[in-house]
Chains A and B, each alone.
Chain A
Amino acid sequence: MKGQNSDMKQSKPGKGGFSDRKVDRAFYWMAVPAALIFTLFLYVPFIQGVAYSFTNSQGYGKFAWIGFKNYWALFRDGRVGHAYIFTFLIAVVITVLVNFIALFISVALNGKIAFKKGFRAIYFIPYTLSVLVIGYVFKYIFMTPLPALGQALHIGWLSQSLLTSERYAWIPIVFLSVWQAVAYSTLIYLAGLQTIDTEVYEAAAIDGANAWQSFWKITFPLIGAFFTINLVLTLKNAFNTFDQVVALTAGGPDSKTETVTYLIYKGGLTGGEYAYQTANAVMFFIVLAVIAFIQLGISRRGEKV
C-alpha cells in the first residue's frame, strides 16, 4: 500500500501558502533524478563558464586566474563591439520584418481566400527545413542568379554578390532569417485570430468600418497577447542567429557579419580564446537578461493600459 489516499486532495495550507500533506515517494523518484541530470548538464556548465571567464584558459592545459582582465579586454575589443552592434541591429530588423509580414499573411490566410489549407501548408514549409541547408541554397542564389539579374536590369548594388559586399552582406542574413521565421510567427497569429468571434466583424461592417479600421480597432487589440509572444520569441531567436551566418557569409567579409553567437563559437572552439569567449558569453547573458527585463516591464505596462 504505497499510495496515500490524501495525495490528490487539497489539504490545509501550511506556512507560506504551501500544503503540509505528505507526498508519495514515487513523485520524488520522478522529479529528483531529472533535476540532478539537469543540474549536471546545464547549471554546472553555466557555473563553469562563469568560473572560466576569470581565467586565461585556452580550453586545455594549465591556466591561471586573472580576475576581470577578460572583461576589460572585451570592452576594448573592436571586433566584439562590432559583433554586438551587428547582432542587435539585425535582431531588431528581423523582429520588425517578421512580425509585419506574419501579421499580414495570417490575416490574409484567415480571410475569405480559396485553397486556404493548401496555402497554409505552403507558408509553413520553411519552419520544417534545416536553416543551414536551405541557407546553402540561398547562398548560391545570392551569388549567381541574383547578380545576373542585377546586371541585366542595370541595378548597381545588385550587380555584384551581396555576400561579399561589406555594406550589404547583412541583407542575405536578414532575408534568410525572416524567410524562415515568418512561418512560425504566422502560425501563432493564426491561432490568435481564431479566438476572435467573426460576429464582431459583421457588427463592425454594419457600422460602416472598413477593412483597415476593423484590423486596427478590433483584430490587433484582440490578438495583443499573441503579438507579445511573437515579439519575445522572434527577438530571442534573432539574438542567437548562427546557422544563417555559417551558411551564407562565415562572418565575412572582414568579420563584418559576425554575430555574438558566431564569435563565441569561432573564437572559443577554433581560435584558442576559450576563457575570453566564455567571458563574452557571460556578458551576452547579462545583456540579454537586462533586455528581457525591459521587455517584461514594457509588456506589463502595456497590459495594464
Chain B
Amino acid sequence: MSQTKQIGSPDMSRSSSGPLPHRSAFEIRLHNINWWLTAVVAVLSLTILVPLYFTVVTALKTPAEAGTFSLPTSWQWHNFVDAWNKVNYPKAALNSGIVTVCAVVITLLTNTFVAYAVARNMDKRFFRFLYYFFIAAMFVPFPVVMLPIAKQFGSWHMDNVIGLILLYVVLGLGTNLFIATGFIRSIPTALEEAARLDGAGTWRIFWTIIFPLMGPINATIAITTALWAWNDFLLPLIVLTDQSSQTIPLAQYVFSSQFATNYPMAFSSYLMALAPILIVYLFAQKWVISGVMRGAVK
C-alpha cells in the first residue's frame, strides 16, 4: 500500500489543465481525443441521467399521464405544494439538516483529537491497543449490534435526534481514525516541540497547530460524514420513534407506504428529497470528489 500514499491531492485533470500557449496545442489535443470512446462513455452515462430525467418529468405530470418517459403535456407544479404539505417536508428537512450539521461538526471536533492522541503515542502499549480497539469496530457489521442498540436507545430515552447524532459520531470513529492517523503521523513533530518549549500545552498545540494542518483530511471526514448522515435510512429507522423527529429518508419511507398511488405527487416528494444534495453536489462537485477520493486511497 506504500504506492497509494503518494497521492496526497489527486489531480485528475493533469492532461487538460495548464495554460494553452497557442492554438496549435489545442488542435493537437483535439486530435488526440478518442471520439469513439467519448461516445461510449456518453451513452453509458444515460443509465444515470435517464432515471433522473424520469424523476423530474414524472413529478410534473398528472397521475393519468405518468409512467412514460415523455415530457408532460401540462406542467403540474402544484404536485410540489401537495407533497410539501403531505410529507411535512420542512420539518423533515430541518431534522435532516440538524442531524447532518451536528454530526459533521461534532465528528470533526472530537474524532480528530482522538486520532491525534493515538497517532502520536503509537509507541506506547496502551495507545497501540486503543488504535486496534477503535479500528476493530470497522469490522463489526452493523446488523450484529442493530437490535441491542435499538432496545438500549429506547430505554435510555435517546430514541431521538440527539441519540442519532451521537451514533453517527461514535460509529464513524473507526473509519475516521483510520484515515486521520496516517496523515497525522506524516506531520513532522518539530513544530509541536517548538510550541512546547514556548510553554504551550497539548490541547493548545492540537487546536492551534495540528487541527489546522489536518485541513484536507478534515474535508474528507466532513464530506463522507455529511453524505452518510443525510442519506442514511437504517439508523433513523431503528432509533427514531417519534414522528416529529423523522429525517428525510425516513419520512419518504412512511410517506410511500401511505400514499403510494398518486405517483406524480410521490415523485415530487422524491425529487425534493434528492434535490438538496444534488444542488450542493452541482456546485461543490470537484471538492466532493477529491475529498471522497482522498479517503478511499488511504
List A residues at the B interface (Cβ < 8 Å).
Answer: 1-5, 7-10, 13, 16, 18-19, 21, 23-24, 26-28, 30-31, 34-35, 37-38, 41-42, 44-46, 48-49, 52, 59, 105, 108-109, 111-117, 119-134, 136-138, 140-141, 144-145, 148, 179, 184, 187-188, 190-192, 194-195, 225-226, 229, 236, 239-240, 242-243, 246, 260-261, 264-265, 268-269, 274, 277-278, 281-282, 284-285, 288-289, 292
CB neighbours of B15 from chain A (8 A): 112, 116
Q: How far is the CA of A274 from the CA of B197 in the complex (A)?
A: 58
Nearest B-chain residue to A32, judged by Cβ: B130
In the complex, the answer to whether B200 meets A136 with C-beta atoms within 8 Å is no
In the complex, the answer to whether A41 meets B10 with C-beta atoms within 8 Å is no
In the complex, the answer to whether A125 meets B281 with C-beta atoms within 8 Å is yes
Contact of A31 among B66, B114, B150 (CB under 8 A): B114
In the complex, the answer to whether A140 meets B263 with C-beta atoms within 8 Å is yes
Nearest A-chain residue to B170, judged by Cβ: A41
Q: How far is the CA of A123 from the CA of B40 in the complex (A)?
A: 13
B258-297 residues at the A interface, CB under 8 angstroms: 263, 266-267, 270, 273-274, 277-278, 281, 285-286, 288-289, 292-293, 296-297
CB neighbours of B206 from chain A (8 A): 30
Check B212 for interface membership: any CB of A closer than 8 A: no
CB neighbours of A188 from chain B (8 A): 293, 296-297
In the complex, the answer to whether A116 meets B196 with C-beta atoms within 8 Å is no
In the complex, the answer to whether A34 meets B173 with C-beta atoms within 8 Å is yes
CB neighbours of A109 from chain B (8 A): 41
Contact of A284 among B35, B45, B117, B143 (CB under 8 A): B143
List B residues at the A interface (Cβ < 8 Å).
Answer: 1, 3-4, 6-7, 10-16, 32-35, 37-38, 40-42, 44-45, 47-49, 51-52, 54-55, 58, 66-69, 110, 113-114, 116-118, 120-121, 123-125, 127-128, 130, 133-134, 137, 139-152, 166-167, 170-171, 173, 189, 192-193, 196-197, 199-203, 206, 227, 230-231, 233-234, 237-238, 248-249, 252-253, 256, 263, 266-267, 270, 273-274, 277-278, 281, 285-286, 288-289, 292-293, 296-297
The winner among A16, A187, A261 for most chain B CB atoms within 10 A is: A187
In the complex, the answer to whether A281 meets B147 with C-beta atoms within 8 Å is yes
Q: How far is the CA of A4 from the CA of B201 in the complex (A)?
A: 9
CB within 8 Å for A136 and B274 given contacts A26-B201, A41-B167, A191-B10: no
CB neighbours of A124 from chain B (8 A): 285, 288-289, 292
In the complex, the answer to whether B148 meets A49 with C-beta atoms within 8 Å is yes
In the complex, the answer to whether A130 meets B233 with C-beta atoms within 8 Å is yes
Contact of B171 among A8, A35, A42, A261 (CB under 8 A): A42
In the complex, the answer to whether B193 meets A8 with C-beta atoms within 8 Å is yes
In the complex, the answer to whether B146 meets A34 with C-beta atoms within 8 Å is no
In the complex, the answer to whether A281 meets B144 with C-beta atoms within 8 Å is yes
CB distance from B25 to the nearest CB of A (A): 15
Nearest A-chain residue to B166, judged by Cβ: A41
Q: How far is the CA of A198 from the CA of B237 in the complex (A)?
A: 48
Q: How far is the CA of A5 from the CA of B194 in the complex (A)?
A: 9
Nearest A-chain residue to B226, judged by Cβ: A128
CB distance from A113 to the nearest CB of B (A): 4
In the complex, the answer to whether A269 meets B173 with C-beta atoms within 8 Å is no
CB within 8 Å for A274 and B130 given contacts A8-B189, A115-B38, A140-B263: no
Jot down 25 A-B pairs with beta carbons below 8 A, ordered by A: A18-B123, A19-B124, A27-B202, A31-B118, A37-B170, A41-B166, A42-B170, A59-B151, A108-B37, A112-B15, A113-B37, A120-B289, A128-B281, A129-B231, A131-B233, A132-B252, A137-B51, A137-B267, A140-B267, A145-B69, A184-B292, A187-B292, A188-B293, A191-B297, A242-B233
In the complex, the answer to whether B54 meets A141 with C-beta atoms within 8 Å is yes
Q: How far is the CA of A45 from the CA of B239 in the complex (A)?
A: 14
In the complex, the answer to whether A269 meets B127 with C-beta atoms within 8 Å is no
CB neighbours of B293 from chain A (8 A): 187-188, 190-191
In the complex, the answer to whether B143 meets A30 with C-beta atoms within 8 Å is no
6 tightest A-B contacts by CB? A26-B202, A45-B148, A30-B117, A19-B123, A130-B231, A144-B67
CB distance from A1 to the nearest CB of B (A): 7
Q: How far is the CA of A138 from the CA of B267 in the complex (A)?
A: 11
CB neighbours of A278 from chain B (8 A): 147-148
List 17 additional A-B contacts (Cβ < 8 Å) besides A8-B193, A18-B123.
Answer: A27-B127, A30-B206, A31-B118, A41-B167, A44-B148, A48-B152, A49-B144, A49-B145, A111-B37, A113-B33, A124-B289, A133-B249, A136-B256, A144-B66, A240-B141, A260-B143, A289-B139
